[in-house]
């Protein structure tokens, strides 16, 4: 059975074409064309983009696109099935780890809530108990005072000579009742803890580079949305298909936003930049300058 890689390579060599010429026709990188001929599916981007490469390659050689696509699906079925199983396994592992971490977070939150409730409610439930009989100090009264209390005081009519109007009246101290004791003052409420404050990072100042010509080249290997701001100009956005390439010029710097961080190859004055992230990751405010 003829394979996809063999069909592409034999047809290209029969027509006397090189991979570089095919890359120029299809706007597909040469390494991706070589991966199709060698059936190295691991070196290709996602399956949906790889199918687009197959159609473009077949069209450039004058082959039937549907037939070439069918050969690709047959040849790559084992690879993509195995890749899908690995992705599902990784996803299940991540979900299990997330649930475990969520359970621990819930336990910690419940512990903190219960501790806070106990901290604020326990002081209010404390009662001021009355003093016990053992704690009361009995009032000492001498014998003379005790007799004066027990014996009735004679009136002036009964014994006018026994009481002198000028004699001072002796005041007998009376024991103070337990209710007259000074009640202890209620406990002073403790100050509530302040919530932690987090520092706010300052906005970086606008950078200024030396004068000159800066040439930015962006080549898409996967479907990618990009936003480019040159110097102080208004930003421009574009949706790049695999194999497309765009160029900008500026004097000092560029500010980029990538909708698929691993889907583009970026060069500044011919020097490669990045990588800036993983496939499918959105990365903002990438500053490029000399």
Answer whether 0.75 is exceeded by the pTM.
no
In this predicted structure, the answer to whether residue 145 has a pLDDT above a threshold of 50 is yes
The answer on pLDDT for 144 being more than 80 is no
pLDDT attached to residue 107: 83
Residue 102: DSSP 8-state = H
Position 193 pLDDT exceeds 70: no
Q: Measured between alpha carbons, how far is residue 62 from residues 12, 24, 58, 66, 122 in Å?
A: 10, 16, 6, 12, 86
- Name the pLDDT band for 172 (thresholds 50, 70, 90): very low
d(CA 209, CA 193): 48
- pLDDT tens readout for residues 219-264: 999 999 899 999 888 998 999 999 999 998 999 998 999 999 999 9
**Residue 8 vs residues 11, 75, 222: alpha-carbon distances, Å:** 5, 13, 22
pLDDT in tens, 10-47: 999 999 999 999 999 999 999 999 999 999 999 999 99
| pLDDT score, position 103 | 75
Query: Cα–Cα distance between 102 and 195 in angstroms, integer?
Result: 23
């Amino acid at each position: 059975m003829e394979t996809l890689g063999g069909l592409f390579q034999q047809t290209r060599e029969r027509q006397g074409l090189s991979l570089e010429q095919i890359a120029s026709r299809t706007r597909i990188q040469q390494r991706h064309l070589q991966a199709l001929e060698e059936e190295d599916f691991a070196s290709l981007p996602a399956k949906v983009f790889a199918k687009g490469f197959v159609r473009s390659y077949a069209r450039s050689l004058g082959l039937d696109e549907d037939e070439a696509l069918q050969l690709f699906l047959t040849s790559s079925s084992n690879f993509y099935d195995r890749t899908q199983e690995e992705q599902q396994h990784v996803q299940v592992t991540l979900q299990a780890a997330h649930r475990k971490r969520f359970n621990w977070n819930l336990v910690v939150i419940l512990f903190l809530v219960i501790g806070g409730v106990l901290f604020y409610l326990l002081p209010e439930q404390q009662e001021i108990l009355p003093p016990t009989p053992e704690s009361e100090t009995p009032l000492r009264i001498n014998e003379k005072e005790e007799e004066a209390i027990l014996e009735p005081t004679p009136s002036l009519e009964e014994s006018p000579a026994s009481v002198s109007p000028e004699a001072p009246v002796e005041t007998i101290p009376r024991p103070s009742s337990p209710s007259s004791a000074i009640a202890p003052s209620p406990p002073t409420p403790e100050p509530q803890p302040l919530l932690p404050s987090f520092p706010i990072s300052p906005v970086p100042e606008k950078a200024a580079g030396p004068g000159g010509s800066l040439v930015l080249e962006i080549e898409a290997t996967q479907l990618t949305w990009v936003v480019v701001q040159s110097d102080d100009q208004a930003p421009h956005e574009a949706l790049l298909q695999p194999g497309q390439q765009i160029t900008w010029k500026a004097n000092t710097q560029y500010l980029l936003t990538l909708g698929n961080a691993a889907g583009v190859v970026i060069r500044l004055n011919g020097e490669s930049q990045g990588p800036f992230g993983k496939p499918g990751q959105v990365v903002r405010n990438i500053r490029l300058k000399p």
